Structure 1
Amino acid sequence: MHTLSNIASGIRTLFGTVPGMNGGSALGDNSFWQRKMLTHFTRMDMNGDNFVSRDDFKSLVKSLANKAKLSDQRAFLMQRLVIQLWEDFWCCGEDKGFEYKVPVEEFLGLVINLLKLSDSKALLEEPLSLLFGVIDLDGNGVVNIREWTIYNEAIGVSENDAVHSFEVCFDSKTEVTKEDFIAVGQAFFTVTDERHTSRHLWGPLV
């Protein structure tokens, strides 16, 4: 079981402290930011083993294909997207082997190191763009409430919480563009203000 206190301690030991966005407290000591990152990690940990692996991403696509009754071609394309997301973002472009598993401390350290860079928000665009491609189940370039709900249910968010996050994060739009999603996703990873609506992106915080 992960707790915020032992995660924060591990982050400070491995990566030091990083100033928060917009003059906020250091991310390694910001419990709200840590909860957001732990929430995202938990949603991607499909098998609940406290690690995120290539198999979790493949399981995600399998679940989506079943729930949305995707064609084999569409499922194959989504499989390619998630593998690219796994290799380029979660593995930092390194060949770590098919069996590699990312623990939560490493994931938070990865994000912290990314946020140290001056162009961090721009660097978040690629993984968020890939993830949008997975959520866009029919591949038409926009995400509607049905697709959003199916994706969120696949990662363990209830239908009611998925509907709430869609309405709150995207200003009650009926369809969300890739640009809309990237903007909210960037805020989720960088903002430390607890009042910001991006906190709801992946359902209730853990």
Structure 2
Amino acid sequence: MVPNFQIKAVRQYSKTPMPAYAYDLESDSDSDGETSHRRYKDNKKMPQRGESEFWRRKMRTLHNILDVNRDGVISFDDYSLLAKRFTDVGNLSPEMSAEFFDVMKQTWEEQWGEINPYNLVTAEQFLTELHHKLNDKDLVKKIGRFLPYLFKAVDIDHTGHLNLDQYKLFFRCLGLTDEDAAVSFAVIDRNGDGQLSLNEFVHLGRQYFLSENERKISRMFWGPLIKH
């Protein structure tokens, strides 16, 4: 069930427009898929994204992470538990916490439909629906709109950058280990300055969904990929 304080927050802020950074995320992506799409004329069929086994492996990895209660399926309870882990860090204002939960609620309803105990998303359903979203020019713009809230929740010193310790906190909220965080951070910190900006964080998080290029460092954004 959804915690009472979260239901109250949604009711209070559900009519509040989401901040711009929660929506306007498409321009930060340079995925191979987006580049190739621009090469096609209007009268030619666009190539489908999300066809590779590598992309499917990434989405299965993410399904495992979003299955917070580890029952094999994703429910809205999992989304609520995930939001609570990040808000419990204590770094988000009450207003931003409410906005965060509202974004998670909207994401669920737009992607999976009604919020009820029987709406359970299997791994294969997760892959199928994300494949559809990835190939819809309007829906794809909304992918990853919750990412800025994850960043701001663990940016505990409000510098606008995450260091390794803060990235470890991000991974703990996801139910992953400090060791996984250290390995991932070493890969995605491309310039080796020990910092990850909000723009870099959102860009990599979105690129994880969009790219089928196995060489992209975004492959490590959510931790090590599952084997199958």
TM over 0.5: yes
Taking CA–CA contacts closer than 8 Å with sequence separation of 6 or more, which of the two structures ends up with the larger relative contact order?
A: 2
Flag structure 1 segments of 5+ consecutive residues without an equivalent. Answer: 1-19
Amino acid at match of 1:196: K
Q: Calculate percent identity across the aligned residue pairs.
A: 26
1:101 counterpart SS class: coil
Higher helix share: 1
2:67 corresponds to 1:41: no
Which has a greater percent of strand?
1
Q: What TM-score, normalized by structure 2, do the two folds share?
A: 0.65
On the 8 A contact 2:150/2:170 being kept in 1, the answer is no
- Counterpart of 1:31, as a letter, is E
Task: Indicate the RMSD between aligned Cα atoms, in angstroms.
Answer: 3.2
Paired position in structure 1 for 2:210: 190
Q: Is the Cα–Cα contact under 8 Å of residues 145 and 174 in structure 1 kept in the other structure?
A: yes
2:103 matched to 1:85?
A: yes
Q: Are 1:142 and 1:176, in contact at CA under 8 Å, matched by a contact in 2?
A: yes
Tell me which amino acid in the other structure corresponds to 2:110.
Answer: C
| TM-score scaled by length of structure 1 | 0.71
2:162 corresponds in structure 1 to 143
Q: Is the 8 A contact 1:81 1:134 kept in 2?
A: no
- Contact 1:82–1:134 (CA under 8 A) maintained in structure 2: no
Distance 1:58 1:183, change over 3 A: same
Task: Tell me whether 1:30 sits opposite 2:52 in the alignment.
Answer: yes
The Cα shift of 1:184 comes to 0.8
Encode CA deviations 1:102-138: one digit per residue, 9 max, x unaligned: 3323322332122213366643352333433344355
- The one-letter code matched in structure 1 to 2:77 is D
C-alpha deviation, 1:141, in angstroms: 3.5
Task: Give the whole-Å Cα distance in 1 for the aligned partners of 2:67 and 2:95.
Answer: 21
Segments of 5+ residues of structure 2 without an aligned counterpart are 1-31, 38-46
Q: Please give the secondary structure, in 2, of the residue aligned with 1:51.
A: coil
* Deviation larger for 34-43 or 128-137: 128-137
- The one-letter code of the counterpart of 1:112 is H
Where does residue 74 of structure 2 map in the other structure? 52
How many residues align? The count is 183
Q: Which has the larger radius of gyration?
A: 2
Alpha-carbon distance in structure 1 between the residues aligned to 2:87 and 2:150: 15
